[in-house]
A and B are shown apart, each in its own frame.
Chain A
């Protein structure tokens, strides 16, 4: 296994703890391990992909890290702290297919809901929150659709609503679960723009991704996962034929 190396990345803030550090993480569904002894360090301010075959545990990794599924063992730290201490600084964009799109709500409300986490108990979003939500919708090109029912948005627009929600949350670390799955070209471009905008603001973005052909163009850092971490590190070091073969088996090659 190729261990992540952070020592060769010179950056003025390298002394700061990594946005995400996972140690010995194991997750099991009824005795069967879905994730096995995962070690992972995500460097700050980069676009990071988590790639692997179906059933490799990519989405489970995000959910385990965010405390949405129970962990059998292991520790997870964000910026050197436990989840509870930094949860407001973490944004999550779910898989589009997991959302109930028939729910009676509009784009603006979905973005506003993302702000509940940082409002205290019993506080409702006010005008400041609404303005923030509108700005986020503008950024993803959906300002005109703020009052549109989510059921009436296209797949790509739905994905962008959740991006806007993440933007409005103004987190330091983002997790996105397959944002590029089944979206149109406009949305793909919008997602990339948002990712780069976030990177420009010094944010860290972790994306579960399935398309090997675009990994090289979109990301700085790559983690190859198949129940275990096969490789994790800067893209040019990890995106090798050997690692891909170890992740996907013999059939897969770079040229595909």
Chain B
């Protein structure tokens, strides 16, 4: 393994895996408490359509997938706030739209679609420099936004009170949705489109059962996200298993352990 760490594509995979694990779990805490799990699922499929469009255009897929997924995230939030349709219905519509669009775009592409499969099931060893730079950029952005944690927590706990205190609750909704969209696209290569929703939610759900306060829940979720990503990547290297599936299976194992250990 030590000599493997010398290889640039392994280094990129590790850095991307750890960063994406941390950011996804951090946002996952808000996803779990706001009951937005389905949003992660919908946005993962928006990422699929974005990736398909990028492949068709012959550019770095991440350059197309990020704006596309963010646009879908903002649209979902907008429709949800302007209509009385439920969250699930709104997301369901955009979910279907994205999958249909993605399939259509894939079919328009000439030739072999093996690389498309690597997006669906993840393929961390194909993380490119542009992928990594995008992840690092998102990491810096999230770090700069850390001081807003308390306000996000407040609006997550009691939306009405936060509104009464004139916190910019609506702006937060859009910002959170956009950030979730970005981290979703970043997670595509790490765990694959079909596992992203789990990757976003399970560390937060695990720490939720062990933490008495939201602060600790956040801390533990990030820790679990980072550790399971690292462990999963090492294991998948040694056992020659798919990285995404390995990470998510470890997360589920931890989740089950927390379920047993949970107080009350």
Interface residues of A (CB under 8 A from B): 63, 66-68, 83-84, 87, 90, 92, 94, 98-100, 103-106, 109-110, 113-114, 116-117, 122-125, 149
Assess whether A116 is in contact with B151, with CB atoms less than 8 Å apart: yes
Minimum distance in angstroms from A66 CB to a CB of chain B: 5
Could you tell me which B residues sit within 8 Å of A by CB distance? 33, 147-148, 150-151, 153-154, 156-158, 160-161, 163-167, 208, 211-214, 216-217
Q: Establish whether residues A122 and B147, one from each chain, have CB atoms under 8 Å apart when the complex forms.
A: yes
Q: Which of A104, A114, A122, A123 interacts with B214 by CB under 8 Å?
A: A104
Once bound together, how far apart are the Cα atoms of A103 and B212, in whole Å? Answer: 9
* Bound complex: CA A66 to CA B151 (Å): 19
Residues of A within 8 A of B163 (CB): 66-68
Question: Could you tell me if A117 and B166 are in contact, using CB atoms closer than 8 angstroms?
Answer: yes
With A66-B164, A68-B164 already in contact, the answer to whether A103 and B214 are too (CB < 8 A) is yes
Most chain A CB within 10 A, of B33, B150, B153, B211, is at B150
A121 vs chain B, min Cβ distance (A):
8
Given A98-B160, A124-B147, A117:B167 Cβ within 8 A:
yes
Q: Are the C-beta atoms of B166 and A84 separated by less than 8 Å?
A: yes
Give every chain A residue within 8 A of B165 (Cβ-Cβ). Answer: 87, 92, 114, 116-117
B151 x A103 contact (CB < 8 A): no
Q: Given the complex of chains A and B, what is the CA–CA distance between A67 and B164 in angstroms?
A: 7
Majority DSSP secondary structure for residues of B touching A: helix
- When distances are taken between beta carbons in the complex, the residues of chain B under 8 Å from A105 are 157, 213-214
Chain A's nearest CB lies how many Å from the CB of B26?
15
A99–B164 CB distance below 8 A: no
Please, which residue of chain B has its CB at the minimum distance from the CB of A84? B166
Q: Is the CB of B211 within 8 A of A92?
A: no
Q: A113-B154, A122-B147, A124-B147 are in contact. Are A92 and B161 (CB under 8 A)?
A: yes
The interface residues of chain B lying within 8 Å CB-to-CB of A83 are: 166
Per the bound structure, the CA–CA distance linking A104 and B263 in Å amounts to 13
B156 contacts which chain A residues (CB < 8 A)? 103
Which of A94, A103, A109, A117 contacts B33 (CB under 8 A)?
Answer: A103
Is there contact, CB below 8 Å, between B217 and A92?
Answer: no
In the bound complex, CA of A79 to CA of B208 (Å):
44
Contacts A104-B212, A104-B213, A104-B216 aside, 9 further interface pairs with beta carbons under 8 A come to A66-B163, A67-B163, A68-B163, A92-B161, A98-B160, A104-B214, A105-B214, A109-B214, A113-B158
